[in-house]
Amino acid sequence: MYLGQLCSLFIRQTNYYVAQGRAVRRVISLFDNIEDLVAENDRRYEVDEDADHTLDQDRLQVGYITLTNTLRWFHKKGSQMEYDDYAQMLKMGADGARGDDTSKLKALVSEWVNREFKPDPPVDPDDKHTRGFINDGCGRLLCPAELNWNDPAVRTGIRDRSDGYVVTDLSFPAFLYEKYASNPDDLEDGLFKGKILLQSYKAVFTSPSSAKAIEGDGDGADIIENNRRARKACFGAGKVKKHVAQIIKMEKVTPRSIAYIVCQVRFALSSINSWRSVDGDFDYIQFWRTVVDFFEKPPGREARRRVDKLLEWWTRKVFGRNRRDDLSNAAKANMSVNALARQRAQRDDALFDSP
């Protein structure tokens, strides 16, 4: 009986850490190992507070902070446990989640491309060999922002990998842009507002059904309905499956979650069958870093303001306009319910103090 209890406890702990690990690739770091994040945090305790750090080191440190904010138990339990005791389970969950999302988007992206662009032949939901630049719909979305896919010379040059048309991680693909078109004089205009990017984000973090409606602001309908069903299930025997954002208590869209979906969509559009960090001339690791740095390392105050505004746009699109938790105490104090309570108390105090 005692042995059986130990086995049951071990299974529960394993399942818990595997489930927790599913957030790692999605919102913390797509490519960095947890030990690298921890090592960078430890290194900073050993150097002067005003010491200079490289861009890569800063990125790792933000990753560690994101890790401890996402897995709030990590700092305490991570120091109590041997690394090998939980690292493998977290990695199992992390890679499993990435694989599940890849499979989900493989089918959904083909459906969306076929519906919007009607390529001939259409994108096969099961065969990656029909994708990439040989397919007009996928090629249009993968085409570098600085090139015009409608130009036959561009299509031929990209497919032949001719000089001047080699596609690398140094180019933003068209699918990142609103209406899939960039402004050469302002390449930030419309960036990270692509329809298929937003659809994919919602499909992974909220639900595939929520990806059907992306016009206007998100109203949180799927989240509200899921919560309603969860409360109803408390009084019955059924269980309601929570979506990713609920499981990790995510209420705002984050830079690294966008970077994760960017890479997933790029892979879904490509003709590569298995997940890899390098696809021909395109380096996914460097591209993920480019997207993360765009949000986390803006060059100045105005660029930071534009990034914040973009993240607010994303949060509205995915989670709706509910900003109750963002209200300051001063803003809440001036609202009529609180203002009335304050006025009533003041009147009572005035009557009590009067002779």
149-179 pLDDT tens trace: 999 999 999 999 999 999 999 999 999 999 9
> What's the whole-number mean pLDDT along residues 233-262?
77
Q: Name the 3-class secondary structure at 96.
A: helix
Q: Name the residue with higher pLDDT: 133 or 220.
A: 133
> What's the whole-number mean pLDDT along residues 40-54?
90
Q: What is the pLDDT of residue 321?
A: 67
| Least reliable range by pLDDT among 136-145, 175-184, 252-261, 342-351 | 342-351
Q: Name the residue with higher pLDDT: 331 or 51.
A: 51
User: Is the pTM above the cut of 0.75?
Assistant: yes
For residue 90, give both structure tokens.
């977290």
Assigned domain for 269 exists: yes
> What's the whole-number mean pLDDT along residues 177-204?
97
Within the chain, residue ranges assigned H as helices are: 2-21, 34-45, 55-70, 74-80, 83-117, 136-142, 152-160, 195-205, 221-233, 244-247, 255-269, 284-296, 301-319, 329-333, 336-353
Spell out the residues 6+ positions from residue 206 whose beta carbon is closer than 8 angstroms to its own: 222, 223, 243, 244, 245, 318
Assigned domain for 327 exists: no
Q: Name the residue with higher pLDDT: 1 or 278.
A: 278
Q: What is the pLDDT of residue 14?
A: 77
Residue 226 banded pLDDT, cuts 50, 70, 90: very low
In this predicted structure, the answer to whether residue 224 has a pLDDT above a threshold of 50 is no
Spell out the residues 6+ positions from residue 339 whose beta carbon is closer than 8 angstroms to its own: 333
Q: Name the 3-class secondary structure at 231.
A: helix
Q: How many residues does the chain have?
A: 355
What is the span of the domain harbouring residue 272? 2-322
In this predicted structure, the answer to whether residue 208 has a pLDDT above a threshold of 90 is no
| Contact of 65 with 57, CB cutoff 8 Å | no
| Contact of 123 with 282, CB cutoff 8 Å | no
Instruction: State the Cα angle at 267 between 264 and 273, rounded to 5°.
Output: 125
Q: What is the pLDDT of residue 234?
A: 45
pLDDT 10s digits, 55-86:
999 999 999 999 999 988 887 766 555 666 67
Assigned domain for 344 exists: no
With CA atoms as reference, report the closest residue to 43 among 64, 71, 74, 72: 64
Computed over every residue of the chain, the mean pLDDT equals: 87
Residue 210 banded pLDDT, cuts 50, 70, 90: confident
Count CB atoms within 10 A of the CB of residue 203: 23
Counted domains in the chain: 1
Assigned domain for 141 exists: yes
Assigned domain for 106 exists: yes
pLDDT 10s digits, 280-298:
899 999 999 999 999 999 9
Assigned domain for 287 exists: yes
Q: What is the pLDDT of residue 103?
A: 95
DSSP for 34-58 reads HHHHHHHHHHHHSS-TT----HHHH
Residue 230 banded pLDDT, cuts 50, 70, 90: very low
In this predicted structure, the answer to whether residue 22 has a pLDDT above a threshold of 80 is yes
In this predicted structure, the answer to whether residue 31 has a pLDDT above a threshold of 80 is yes
Residues 229-260 as b/e (b if ≥16 CB within 10 A, e otherwise) read: eeeeeeeeeeeeeebbbbebebbebbbbbbbb
Q: What is the pLDDT of residue 80?
A: 56
Within 194-272, residue ranges assigned H as helices are: 195-205, 221-233, 244-247, 255-269
Q: What is the pLDDT of residue 213?
A: 66
Q: What is the pLDDT of residue 12?
A: 75
Assigned domain for 342 exists: no
In this predicted structure, the answer to whether residue 216 has a pLDDT above a threshold of 70 is no
Q: What is the pLDDT of residue 336?
A: 93
Assigned domain for 127 exists: yes
Residue whose token pair is 């519906």? 115
Residue 6 banded pLDDT, cuts 50, 70, 90: low
Highest mean pLDDT among 4-13, 39-48, 190-199: 190-199
In this predicted structure, the answer to whether residue 279 has a pLDDT above a threshold of 80 is yes
| Least reliable range by pLDDT among 43-57, 175-189, 298-312 | 43-57
